[in-house]
Amino acid sequence: MAKRRACSWVKVLAVCCLWGCATNSPRDAVPAPRALAPAEAKISDRYWRAGAAYSFPERLSYPTDTGVITTLHTPGAFETTGHPFFTPLGENGRACITCHQPADGMSLSARTAQEVWDKLGPTDPLFAAGDGSNCPSLPQRERASHSLLLERGLFRIARPWPPRDHEGQPIEPELDIELVSDPTGCNADLMFGMSSPTPAISVFRRPRPVANLKFATSMGFSFDPKDGLPLEIDRESGVPTSGNLLADDRERTLLGQARDALLTHTDHHGALPSAELQRIIAFESQIYTAVSRHVQAGALDDGGASGGPDALARAPAGKLQSTKSHPIWGEFSAWAAAPSTSDADPQRAFRESVARGAAIFTGRQFLVSDSAGITDVGFGNPVRNSCAFCHNMLHVGMDVAPGQVDLGTTNLPHANPLPELPLFRLTCRPGARAHPHLGRVVLTHDPGYALTTGKCIDIGKITAQSLRGIAARPPYFVNGSASTLAEVIAFYDKRYEMKLSDQEKLDLQHLLEVL
Amino acid sequence: MSLVRCAVVLLLMAAAHTAVAQSRPELHTFITCPIYRDTDAGRKSGCWLAEDPQGVRYDVTLGPVKPQVGHLALIEGVFSSEPNSACGGRVLEPVRVAVLEESCERRIIPADNYPGRPFKSPPEMLAPSDQPRSLPPPPYTEKSFSIYFEYERDFLVYQYAELILEKIVLYAKASQAKRVQVEGFAATEPLVVHGRTLREPLTLAKARAEMVAEALRRLGVPDASISLTWHGAPRKTLDLEGGKLPEPSKRRVVVTVTP
């Protein structure tokens, strides 16, 4: 075993050396095992520019604040030239890769946005007016016009209102939306706002990681307990869909997501040839990203653990965790009693902390309350359970059932203070079922799933996402309202009155740092 | 039929009715502000208590749908012989709970040494999608299945409805069903509970039927084989799947599969 590990490191070092011989391309960015100083990383080392000619290796690693994020492309290395994921296809110069960066776990961190602004300036396609600014009508060269992307990593998502179904037909909503305040000005804008010729609700969201998608598209069970129906059938393919792809479930297949993203994020009008769409989907489906090394824990596939993207690529998707027989984050259970070596005590202590964090994740129970999608579907409100109640899919922590839940990240009174975001007042129409816990009038920064369904019960529901590689893509929650993993844990601790001890918080944080 | 034979038949019917009435447990129906007792005995272990207008406290934890603190609940159940020791209330079982929209005080109380009800997985659960299903064996005859709903709801409840839906789909598939009739019912006749009149609209019968039909379609039953009807004022049933509760049994959908 030790010999095999040594061999692995020889290979890694050899690859590092090879990449180090290249010029300033993202391939340079593979860190040496101890090179964990992200502040020193140059933007040219981290940021994959749309349309540039790169070689995408089988494994691609970047430093994060606490370790190394590695992205694995299972078919192996390839040249990106002409690949539609890496090629600007629309009018704004962006490609998919612009907002789904390997250094950020195939999402985009606020830090990367800031570095691109500082080094490449406002004309970089990342800051495209349509969604990379607070509103397209603002002066685009000014930093303030892009403040939400720069400070919170948020992109503008303009949803039609009234909503439209997946066939494009209008849905009669159960609720009315009023604007309470909007520092971005976009929802009141004459051209882009709620009263514009094409009325839209502008909300601001973090990009979801384009990786580990076999888990997001998997269907563990045929029934969705939250909607009270079997999984929805995609009309185009005729097959059920997971409902776990997008924050508001506005698209249910990778094909639909790709088309939507091409239109709304790359300004591509018209139909992309099917072969090109399939190349995008094939690439997305074969990308796995996870933390591979931690500054304190060392290699995450060491000491009996099975972290990192390779194990993730091999793991089956859509499996429900069981606290007793196969708990989530069992990848790190072997560290519960990490072997002691005289020169590695800090490492041992950290690994044990990770294992404790995993045990807390499944075993530390609290009262889950007032969370539409969980506490209104028959379990009762409140219901005693743990983090793994919702984050229940083995290996990734998504929800095996479609994960639209109102945790309070966007709805008042639970949302973190977000004065820079729009605030809406939603009023349920007579006869409509009210939001189960917030009543008939709800204040929210993002109506979430209700922007797709038009239903009061769905206000503020946001689809749970994969927790793998999360350390590489701050800030957190759909609206970037938690800057750090510690703030994520603090939110839950307060929201559900978990009364976590400082040690428990730290253990959970350490767990999240190695996913 | 002679008068004597008529009289005998009537007497027998009356006797049978009396026997049924005597064997049928009394349904206890009331509207209450539910109480959650946090017994902390593992996941999903808390107790749900409900006080009737006389202040008698009942344990309604065993219902398929649990209450929500801060919302009134309609309780319909029968007395169980189980002792009060788990949660601190007279046990209703079977019992059904319907969460009403009206708000009330949020009441969460400590365990007070009650052990609660540690969660037990249901005896039958939906298998993961990747596990093969067995088709029911012949003979295939016309067969009906009932799905029950909570008051004023068309929501198909998890760990209950999906099992029946799957049975319907497998039977329809195995029997190569020519027709799948979906009949929705709503309790449109008034039910008076402590001076309050409860009555479901007929549109709810339609909504329930449409919900079940949509579920069947999503599970692969051909749309062309599905027919929908809906009715008010249904008769009561006492079958096991309805929880043997006559009034809640009116709120149902009956699916009849015809090979």
pLDDT tens across A438-476, in order?
A: 999 999 999 999 999 999 999 999 999 999 999 999 999
What's the mean pLDDT in B235-257? 79
Encoded tokens for A75:
């078919």
The closest of B185, B157, B250, B170 to B216, measured between CA atoms, is B170
Chain B: closest CA distance from residue A44 (Å) = 45
CA A138, A142, A146, A148 torsion: positive or negative? negative
Is residue B20's pLDDT more than 50?
no
Q: Do A222 and B155 touch (CB under 8 A)?
A: no
B211: chain A residues, CB-CB within 8 Å: 228-229
Query: What one-letter code names the amino acid at A149?
Result: L
Categorize the per-residue pLDDT at B243 as very low, low, confident or very high, splitting at 50, 70 and 90.
low
Residue B92 pLDDT level (bands cut at 50, 70, 90): very high
Q: Give the burial class of B91: count Cβ atoms within 10 A of its Cβ; 0-12 exposed, 13-18 middle, 19 or more buried.
A: buried
Residues of A in contact with B40 (CB under 8 A): 365, 384
Q: Minimal Cα distance from A367: which residue of B?
A: B38
Residue in chain B lying closest to A242 (CA): B129
CATH number at residue B179: 3.30.1330.60
Q: How many residues does chain B have?
A: 259
Whether the CB-CB separation of A226 and A401 falls below 8 Å is answered with yes
Does residue B151 form part of some domain?
Answer: yes
Q: Chain B partners of A439 at a C-beta cutoff of 8 Å?
A: 103
B174 found inside a domain: yes
Torsion angle of C-alpha atoms A471, A472, A478, A481, degrees rounded to 10: 70
For helices A345-363 and A502-513, the axis angle rounded to 10 degrees is 100
Kindly report the three-state secondary structure assignment for every residue of chain B: CCHHHHHHHHHHHHHHHHHHHHHCCCEEEEEECCEEEECCCCCCCCEEEEECCCCCEEECCCCCCCCECCEEEEEEEEECCCCCCCCCCEEEEEEEEEEEEEECCCEEEECCCCCCCCCCCCCCCCCCCCCCCCCCCCCCCCEEEEEECCCCCCCCCCCCHHHHHHHHHHHHHHCCCCEEEEEEEECCCCEEECCEEECCCHHHHHHHHHHHHHHHHHCCCCHHHEEEEEEECCCCCCCHHHCCCCCHHHCEEEEEEEC
CB B136 within 8 A of CB B170: yes
Contact A318 B130 (CB under 8 A): yes
What pTM does this model have?
Answer: 0.90
Helix (H, G, I), strand (E, B) or coil at A202: strand
For residue A24, what pLDDT is reported?
33
Question: Do B44 and A233 count as a contact with CB atoms less than 8 A apart?
Answer: no
Residue B69 is part of a domain; what is its CATH number? 2.40.50
pLDDT band for position B27 (cuts 50, 70, 90): confident
* Cα separation, A116 vs A43, whole angstroms: 7
List A428's β-bridge partners, or say none: A175
Task: Please indicate, yes or no, if residue B45 is contained in any of the structural domains.
Answer: yes
Q: Is residue A177 within 8 Å of residue A424, measured between CB atoms?
A: yes
The rounded distance, in Å, linking the Cα atoms of A492 and B191 is 43
First-to-last alpha carbon distance for chain B, in angstroms, is: 39
* Type of residue numbered A509: Q
Contact assignment for B44 to A375 by CB distance below 8 Å: no
Residues in chain B closer than 8 A to A323 (CB atoms):
43
Residue B244 has pLDDT above 90, yes or no: no
Interface residues from chain B to A (CB-CB < 8 Å): 36, 38, 40, 42-46, 48, 64-71, 99, 101, 103, 108, 126, 128-130, 155-159, 161-162, 165-166, 211, 214-215, 217-219
User: Which of A220, A369, A383 is the closest to B44 by Cβ?
Assistant: A383
Of A228, A319, A382, the CB nearest to B157: A228
Nearest to residue A376, comparing CAs of A438, A295, A442, A288? Answer: A438
Q: Which of A233, A367, A380 has the CB atom closest to B68's CB atom?
A: A380
The residue among B234, B214, B226, B228 whose CA lies nearest residue B258 is B226
B76 and B160, same domain (yes or no): no
Cis peptide before A162 (omega within 30 of 0): yes
User: What number of residues does chain A have?
Assistant: 515
Q: Which residues of A touch B66 (CB under 8 A)?
A: 378-381, 383
Q: Does one domain contain both B82 and B150?
A: no
Same domain, B149 and B101: no
Read off the amino acid at residue A315: A
Same domain, B186 and B105: no
Q: Which residue of A has its CA nearest to B212?
A: A229
Position B238 scores a pLDDT of 63
Asked whether residue B150 falls in the same domain as residue B233, the answer is yes
**Which chain B residue has its CA at the smallest distance from A387's CA?**
B43
A82 residue type, one letter: G
**Same structural domain for residues B180 and B78?**
no
Nearest Cβ partner for B68 among A320, A375, A434: A375
Show Cβ contacts of residue A431 under 8 Å, excluding neighbours closer than 6 positions: none
Same domain for B105 and B157, yes or no, is: no
Whether B6 has a pLDDT exceeding 60, the answer reads no
- Confidence band, pLDDT 50/70/90 cuts, at residue B247: confident
Interface test with B, best of A381, A433, A456 (most B CBs within 10 A): A381
Q: Are B156 and B165 in contact (CB under 8 A)?
A: yes
Average pLDDT of chain A to the nearest whole number: 91
Query: Is B5 part of a structural domain of the chain?
Result: no
Q: What is the pLDDT of residue B123?
A: 85
B164 with B240, same domain: the answer is yes
Amino acid at A374: I
CB contacts of A378 in chain B (<8 Å) are: 64-66, 157-159
The reported pLDDT for the residue numbered A339 is 66
Domain end call among B63, B83, B109:
B109
Across the interface, of A378, A380, A384, the residue whose CB is closest to B157 is A378
Chain A nearest CA to B120, separation (Å): 13
Q: What is the pLDDT of residue B45?
A: 87
Please indicate, yes or no, whether residues B61 and B157 belong to a single structural domain of this protein: no
Q: For the segment A416-443, what is each residue's pLDDT rounded down to a tens digit?
A: 999 999 999 999 999 999 999 999 999 9
Classify residue B127: in a domain, yes or no. no
For residues B31 and B82, membership in a common domain is answered with: yes
Q: Which of B129, B168, B169 to mutate to test the interface with A (most CBs of A within 10 A)?
A: B129
Count how many pairs of residues, chain A against chain B, have C-beta atoms within 8 Å: 104
Does residue B182 register a pLDDT over 50? yes
- Cβ contacts of B103 on chain A, cutoff 8 Å: 439
Q: What is the DSSP letter of A296?
A: T
Question: What's the distance, Cα to Cα, between the start and end of chain A in Å?
Answer: 23
A229 contacts in chain B (CB < 8 Å): 156, 211, 214-215, 218
- Sorting pLDDT into bands at 50, 70 and 90, what band is B24? low
pLDDT in tens, B121-169: 888 889 999 999 999 999 999 999 999 999 999 999 988 999 999 999 9
Question: Which H or E run contains A55?
Answer: strand A55-56
Partner residue facing A434 (CB), from B38, B101, B156: B101
- Closest B-chain CA to A372: B68
For chain A, which residues score pLDDT lower than 70?
Answer: 1-44, 338-344
B10 part of a folded domain = no
User: Which among B63, B94, B109 is the end of a domain?
Assistant: B109
Top residue of B47, B72, B130, B163 to mutate, by most chain A CBs within 10 Å, is: B130
Q: Which residues of B touch A376 (CB under 8 A)?
A: 68, 99
Contact B66 A379 (CB under 8 A): yes
Task: Note whether residue B223 is domain-resident.
Answer: yes
Nearest Cα neighbor of A462 from A414, A390, A397, A406 is A406
Pick A382's closest partner by Cβ from B42, B69, B158.
Answer: B69
Q: Do A377 and B66 touch (CB under 8 A)?
A: no
B93, B109, B125 - which closes a domain: B109
Q: How many domains does chain B have?
A: 2
Q: Same domain for B63 and B149?
A: no
CA distance B117 to chain A (A): 12
Q: Cβ–Cβ of A378/B159 closer than 8 Å?
A: yes
The answer to whether A217 and A251 are in contact (CB under 8 A) is: no
What is the rounded CA–CA span in Å between residue B154 and residue B212? 9
Question: Span B102-109, mean pLDDT?
Answer: 96
Query: Are B103 and B186 within one domain?
Result: no
Cis? peptide before A84, omega within 30° of 0: no
Contact assignment for B218 to A233 by CB distance below 8 Å: yes
Domain membership of residue B126 (yes or no) is no
Contact A318 B129 (CB under 8 A): yes
* Mutation site, B38, B69, B101, B173, interface A, largest A CB count within 10 A: B69
The domain in which residue B206 lies consists of 143-258
ipTM of the complex: 0.88
Q: How far is B83 from chain A (nearest CA, A)?
A: 23
